[in-house]
Structure 1
């Protein structure tokens, strides 16, 4: 069996919530190329699927939506366990579509993901952090500014929590979206991300004490989280992550540490 492809994931969100009390759930994702999912494939009769909780029947229904078909043995290998906030579910569907030969518009692929699962992360786009994404609709509502260069040092804290398409119990972030569209410095973006994470923790739990304290102790500009899932991260300007920061996160109980570098205009 050969490894066919890797689909990048994400690491929680910079912000997530409702646009108004009755508006759609929207988010700004944090791309994490090293996370996501690897797909291993061997041609053959029928369709055999293992890993990431995706069944052959569900895979066939999804591929039918795109006018595709696929046969063979497929093993889906998430880089981290599903439910931690890294986009494993969406990455699984994107991997299947690309293995089956999909080369169409990402907007169409996103709609198929939503039709199959009820929600989607924007992993099929080249710059997913540059859009205000309506995750239950599978579409971008607005273009967003490029992020300044940044480093995220993070890990996983708490139990897995899979996204439920019917779950819309998120705080109103209309004001944060407006601030995001006008933000300029990394400190601006970090402050917005911190407020979004704090609002989510206050409404949805779990109560988050460790991340704010670590951010203060380590001189981070702010912190962020998976608004559904266990991913937690500290936001730093490039080159400012202090020595011993990883040890501090481990001592606080964070596991599976990750380091993400991104942004830049």
Structure 2
């Protein structure tokens, strides 16, 4: 692990905790954030010891979204030529999108633990995670509409598959804030905890439970779920048949079956 400016990364019990570490700036996403998150998830993907990821924010809030100073710096790079400006902005947006695509495409399950503000770009981030959990004080808002733009880093593409098209449209068009309980009710988060301490403890418990499973089986399950977002049922059935033709030969299957029969806890290789 390297030293990061926008993050703190911890690894214990096969769980990587990726902590947005700018509490004095409400964990706003500055230039370092966008580049470092790609590097971090590249390391996570390549490290077999890591089986689950928990992403969270340091301090009272998860994240207030993209750093407005960074937006101002991007604006300062624009000149009088509309065509060149458009090309510059398009390339920058694609770079930002790649940061959260790195989370979406991570081979390991990614759990988001959300407290306080989760605004704007932070919604894009959690939409790229596998599961989301919140404390009761969490506040969610697709804020881009209030600064005169459409969300462009994944919210409008991923969120309809999580909370449904109609609810996504309501939140995106109005920018209204919802609390943790409403987020649970619409399916944005799986569970709500009373406070931040219980949130972290609960999410780590779930992460440990996943980490104890066969990493081959977890990897295959995530890949099949992700594949089915963009394919028909018959395509998915064909794909899982081909995938499991290889993966069912893993030693993990024998270890799991032996553990079931002996009523012992299985121990899987990384």
Give the structure with the larger strand fraction: 1
TM-score (norm. length: structure 1): 0.28
TM-score (norm. length: structure 2): 0.27
Q: Which has the larger radius of gyration?
A: 2
Larger RCO, structure (CA 8 Å, separation 6 or more): 1
